[in-house]
A = this chain, B = another copy of it.
Amino acid sequence: MDSTEATPRRGRPGYDQSSMLEVIVQVFTDHGYDASSLGMISTRLGLSKSAVYHHFASKAEMLEIALERALGALEQVFDEAERGGNGAGAAGAAGAGSDAVGQIREIVRAAVLVACEQQPYLILLLRLHGNSDVELRALERRRALTARLRAIFERARNEGALRDDLDPGLAARFTFGLVNSLVEWYRPDGPETPEALAEAVLSYVRSGLRVNEVADFR
């Protein structure tokens, strides 16, 4: 993890693995993983290939570590919601996950935060082609998350807390699709904070676009 190697090019700051990964993931996203070469990566980093190899054994390892950021964070979201607390101390946090709808709420809220905070890594995950073992394993973990969400939606429906005219599997896919799509346009310097976005998504997911209970035209 040390940032060794006097960096060429106008005294740019030394890299640790994490800051290198940010740049590398940008290369993957700009050109696609398959088309990204170590030459491109070392050029973008302004480092020699051997300096890059000092931190990563291979392109596959870079991808694996990057995907772990997205998948690990999402799996943690589910683990915490299913344990019944989000640790964030927000309203009704303790035990929020005890019922299925509370878990859905926690998962949606936390997944929006992950989408904002781990945006580049999620973009990478969402655009995988599945041409290597690392990619296939990541896609398998992604499918497992979808299955977990679907199971929670099914429980919510069984608890009578979800409308019964919408298939829980579809509802889960729609919800994940919406949350995932944030990474396509979210800007850290944009007008909405991740927390405000999470609230807006939750509100949309809960009630749709329908005019508020009492129609008002102000």
Determine which of B31, B171, B206 lies in contact with A131 in the assembled complex, contact meaning CB atoms within 8 Å: B31
Complex contact B181–A176 (CB within 8 A): yes
Q: In the complex, A204 Cα to B175 Cα: how many Å?
A: 9
Complex contact B173–A185 (CB within 8 A): yes
- Residues of B near A185 (CB, < 8 A) are 173
In the complex, chain A residues 34-56 whose Cβ is within 8 Å of any chain B Cβ: 34-35
Of A13-21, A60-68, A85-93, A162-170, which binds chain B? A162-170
- Residues of B near A207 (CB, < 8 A) are 163, 207-208, 210
Complex contact A205–B209 (CB within 8 A): yes
Complex contact A209–B129 (CB within 8 A): no
Residue tally, chain A, CB below 8 Å to B:
51
- Residues of B near A218 (CB, < 8 A) are 164
Q: In the complex, A163 Cα to B181 Cα: how many Å?
A: 22
Complex contact B205–A129 (CB within 8 A): no
Complex contact A209–B166 (CB within 8 A): yes
- Residues of B near A182 (CB, < 8 A) are 177
Complex contact A170–B200 (CB within 8 A): yes
In the complex, chain A residues 164-218 whose Cβ is within 8 Å of any chain B Cβ: 164-167, 170-171, 173-178, 180-182, 184-185, 192, 197, 200-201, 203-212, 215-218
Task: List 5 extra interface pairs beyond A161-B211, A163-B210, A178-B181, CB under 8 A.
Answer: A127-B127, A165-B212, A166-B200, A170-B197, A207-B210
